[in-house]
Amino acid sequence: MDRGEDVVRQLYGRWRGPLHGYVLRLVGGDHQHAEDVVQETLLRAWRHADRLTPDEAGPWLYTVARNLVISGFRKRGGKHAEVPIEAEHLPPVADAVDHVLQSWQVAEALRVLTPDHRNVVVELYYRRRSVAEAAVVLGIPPGTVKSRCFYALRALRDALEERGVTRS
């Protein structure tokens, strides 16, 4: 058995039940849809087995599953009715959890960028500098900032899509 298969078996054993329960709530109790999402999530985990460990994969798995549900909802044109979830079933810090998951996804995706591309993204989007200001800080021409930004955002988009994040 190769490492990928072993990791997926461990992920399945540890996370399948909790992940299914989580997705089941997201899809309004549709067991078949929830199972499909869990299977697709685990398939994506298998594709990324070299970067996942069963003990630390939870946030990644939950994020991919959530994004699959959202993208599936959008593809169907919003045909699933939203099912209200009672407040006692929600974690008290749901917004904070989503924020942490999103931050984690972006941080992971930023790591795959080259340092030059990452620096441009940080200056323009995190430090909110103009192209001219970023050019001065980075010591490069404004045209280079624009070019690097274009390619950095393309690479960032690809990295996020690879992690299960889809565009709206």
Instruction: Tell me the per-residue pLDDT of 18-62, one tens digit each, with 9 for 90 and over.
Output: 888 888 888 888 888 888 898 888 888 888 888 888 878 888 888
Which of 168, 166, 163 is CA-nearest to residue 59? 163
> pLDDT class for 73, splitting at 50, 70, 90?
low
Does residue 144 surpass a pLDDT of 90? yes
Rounded CA separation 70/165 (Å): 9
CA atoms within 13 A on the CB side of 23: 31
Q: For 90-142, what is each residue's pLDDT tens digit?
A: 444 445 566 666 777 778 888 888 999 999 998 988 888 899 999 999 999 99
105/68: higher pLDDT = 68
- Which pLDDT score, from 0 to 100, does residue 44 have? 86
Sorted by sequence, the CB contacts under 8 Å of residue 149 that are 6+ apart come out as: 120, 121, 124, 131
What domains are there in the chain, each with its CATH number? Answer: 1-77 (1.10.1740), 94-168 (1.10.10.10)
pTM for the model? 0.45
For range 65-84, the mean pLDDT: 63
pLDDT of residue 143 exceeding 90: yes
pLDDT at 1: 56
